[in-house]
């Protein structure tokens, strides 16, 4: 039951971020699966095309207090009841997502940026030492507002198109169909 409730809350948070991306008119894909260098797939909550690069977003809908060090593999989630657990660092998790995206777009131009964002949609209090890497819905929306009137380069658009095709290909493989990866 706990896993089911957690899944529902996670989906609510992902819907919140999806709506923010749509509000600012950014081309985006949600809940995509891409291959990694090791050959294992990785599931990415959101990717969006921005004038600065490809935004890779990990959404977390947590409660309680989140603390830790940005350099550590695990952070601490402490609930009001005092119960706490270590959770895998969303920053580390998203680094692997960014690497998967970069592996696909680097062939267009190795200078293309993949921009990692962690967006907290739940009521969790974020410790000061994590505030530099964790966004709220509001700070994320403000960042997107600042990008609103900028245009995307042709090179970035080409990289986005390649990422879109790779995501479609991998989705086809997940569903058991066979597609050419870049048809």
Tens place of pLDDT for every residue, the chain, 183 residues? 454 445 555 577 899 999 999 999 999 999 999 988 888 899 999 999 999 999 999 999 999 999 999 999 999 999 999 999 999 999 999 999 999 999 999 999 999 999 999 999 999 999 999 999 999 999 999 999 998 878 999 999 999 999 999 999 877 655 544 333 333
Q: What domains sit in the chain, N to C, each tagged with a CATH number?
A: 2-174 (3.40.1350)
DSSP for residue 8? H
Q: Which residues contact 59 (CB under 8 A, 6 or more apart)?
A: 10, 13, 14, 16, 17, 45, 46, 119, 121
Q: What is the DSSP string of 139-165?
A: HHHHHHHHHTTPPPPHHHHHHHHHHHH
């Amino acid at each position: 039951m706990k896993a089911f409730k957690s899944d529902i809350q996670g989906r609510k948070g992902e819907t919140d971020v999806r709506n923010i991306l749509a509000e600012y008119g950014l081309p985006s894909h949600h809940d995509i699966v891409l291959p990694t260098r090791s050959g294992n797939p990785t599931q990415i909550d959101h990717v969006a095309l921005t004038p600065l690069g490809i935004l890779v977003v990990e959404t977390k809908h947590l409660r309680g207090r989140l603390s830790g060090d940005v350099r550590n593999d695990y952070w601490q989630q402490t609930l009001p009841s005092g119960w706490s657990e270590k959770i895998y660092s969303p920053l580390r998790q998203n680094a692997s997502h960014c690497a998967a995206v970069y592996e696909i777009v680097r062939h267009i131009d190795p200078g293309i940026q993949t921009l990692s964002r962690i967006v907290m949609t739940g009521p969790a209090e974020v410790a000061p030492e994590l505030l530099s890497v964790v966004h709220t819905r509001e700070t994320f929306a403000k960042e997107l507002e600042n990008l609103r009137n900028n245009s995307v380069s042709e090179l970035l658009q080409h990289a986005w198109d390649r990422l879109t095709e790779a995501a479609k290909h991998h989705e086809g493989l997940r569903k058991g169909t066979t597609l050419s990866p870049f048809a």
